[in-house]
Amino acid sequence: MRRILDFLGSAAALVVLSPLMIVISFVVALTSPGGVFFRGERVGQYGAPFYILKFRSMVRDAEGHGKWNVGMDDPRVTSIGRFLRASKLDELPQFINVLRGDMSLVGPRPELRYYVNMYTDEESQILSMRPGITDWASLVNYSQYREFTQADDPDDYYLTSVRPLKLYLQLYQLKHQSVADYLRVLLWTAARLVRKNLALPKDVQTAIWDFESQQPTADRTNSE
């Protein structure tokens, strides 16, 4: 059922968004050399590698040459790339990944092998899910790009302040995944695009509070 929803949803999105994607393609191609798309290797379902598609927002061959996590002032980011990353328009080509079956509309964000190699046995269960465009962790970390900019070390900030809660919520989603939850994540994501300060559902917020209550006081993250 989810695969049918993924196929129909991604096909519809590509049709509706195709004029915008064509415009972005021309702007990316004309403003900096290196092609329109970024293809980066990520870890997919059951640990299988695949190439995620994004509109290129950085200079050619930038990934792996500097910090893994990128802020607005990173010199590798192009002028149009700053806008694309801040608005999340660089993510639109991932509907192609969904159409091909590499990803789902809803699922844990696909991760670099570097970070997957850090998974505990429990966290490795996340790989049983098909990676997705959006999930509860993505909604919590909606302003992540800005936070990386403000951090002294974006990679350290990701490891200490973003990744722990991200993994906790991905495991939460694994335990509660259903077609109803799939649709709920999509609806909340659409609403969040309109209202940036929209509160998360009560059960998800409770999960966040449960996570924070387990952390040392100095390390607790104010997610909302």
Range of the domain at 39: 2-219
In our burial notation (b when 16+ CB lie closer than 10 A, e otherwise), range 24-56 reads bbeebeeebeeeeebeeebbbbeeeebebbbbb
- Classify residue 110: in a domain, yes or no: yes
Percent above pLDDT 90 for the chain: 65
Domains held by the chain: number: 1
Residue 29, in any domain of the structure: yes
Concatenated DSSP letters for 38-86?
EEEEEE-GGG-EEEEEEE--BSTT-TTSS-SS--TT-TTB-HHHHHHHH
Helix (H) or strand (E) holding 105: strand 104-106
Q: Is residue 146 part of a domain?
A: yes
224 domain residue, yes or no: no
160: in domain? yes
Band (pLDDT 50/70/90 cuts) for residue 196 is: confident
Residue 37 lies in a domain: yes
**Mean pLDDT along residues 137-152:** 72
**What are the structure tokens assigned to 69, written together?**
């996590």
Residues across the chain: 224
pLDDT of residue 46: 97
What's the mean pLDDT when you consider all of the chain? 89
DSSP 8-class letter at 133: E
Q: Let me know if residue 6 belongs to a domain.
A: yes
For residue 95, give every residue at least 6 positions away whose Cβ sits within 8 Å of its Cβ, in sequence order, or none: 10, 13, 14, 17, 133
Rg (CA), the chain: 17
Mean pLDDT of 11-19: 97
pLDDT at res. 55 = 97
Which are the contacts of 52, defined by CB distance < 8 A and separation ≥ 6? Answer: 39, 40, 41, 42, 94, 97, 102, 103, 110
Residue 18 has pLDDT above 80, yes or no: yes
Mean pLDDT of 173-202: 91
Average pLDDT on 62-73 reads: 71
Within-domain flag for 116: yes
